[in-house]
Structure 1
Amino acid sequence: MTAVVDELDAMDEDPFTLDSFENLMRMHASKGKDFIIARVTTQDPNDGEKHYHSYYGAHQINKVLFRTQPDEGLLHRMKARNPLNNMLVVGDVHYYII
């Protein structure tokens, strides 16, 4: 069973590429690849019960969220801020294949 988590307008722009999610999905599909969207959560600094969600192409946001140590084969999740609102990313980042 599939559950709807949220709705995203395909004409919204990815904040990194400034291209619409629709165009990014089409570009990936034309190459026979899946497009992956990452859902990032931040917490309101004045109200701990309120959360905000931002969406990015996974490839771009992963460059902000992770660092590697290639010589040791390690990947680290970093403490990072959401580029859209400059608030700390909290919890897990959720990925969705389109």
Structure 2
Amino acid sequence: SDVLVDVIDASSEDPFTLESFQSLARLHALAGKDFLIARVVTLDPDDPSREYFSYYAAHHINKILFRTQPEQGLLHRMRAKNPLNNMTIVGDVNYYVV
């Protein structure tokens, strides 16, 4: 069964492209492609029980989160900071198809 995790405003802008998520989803749909949104988590430095969620077009945030070694066929998840708040991204990155 599907579980509602969160709701984001489609008019919100992707921090990398400054395009609205609605516009990006529409462009992908017109091209016959799925649009992926990535949700990353950072923790409040003063209260680690408080989580902050940020949303990005997956294609762009993946360039920060992952490094490849193509000659060996390897993909590595890197320790990275959230570009919006400069805090370390923790835990899993969740991906959603739009």
Q: TM-score with structure 2 length normalisation?
A: 0.99
- The answer for the alignment partner of 2:31 in structure 1 is 31
In structure 1, C-alpha distance between the alignment counterparts of 2:67 and 2:17, rounded to whole Å: 20
Kindly report which structure 2 residues correspond to 1:1-98, keeping only aligned pairs within 5 A, or say none.
1-98=1-98
- For the aligned residue pairs, the C-alpha RMSD in angstroms reads 0.4
Q: What residue identity is the alignment partner of 1:16?
A: F
Count of aligned pairs: 98
- Structure 2 unmatched runs, 5+: none
In structure 2, C-alpha distance between the alignment counterparts of 1:33 and 1:79, rounded to whole Å: 29
In structure 1, C-alpha distance between the alignment counterparts of 2:34 and 2:43, rounded to whole Å: 29
In structure 2, C-alpha distance between the alignment counterparts of 1:92 and 1:24, rounded to whole Å: 23
- Structure 1 unmatched runs, 5+: none
Greater strand share, structure number: 2
Q: What residue identity is the alignment partner of 2:8?
A: L
In structure 1, C-alpha distance between the alignment counterparts of 2:41 and 2:63, rounded to whole Å: 16
Please report how far the alpha carbon of residue 2 of structure 1 lies from its aligned counterpart in structure 2 after TM superposition.
1.1
Superimposed CA distance per residue, residues 54-93 of structure 1 (whole angstroms, 9 cap, x where no aligned partner): 0000000000000000111100000000000000000000
In structure 2, C-alpha distance between the alignment counterparts of 1:21 and 1:48, rounded to whole Å: 29
Q: What residue identity is the alignment partner of 2:70?
A: P
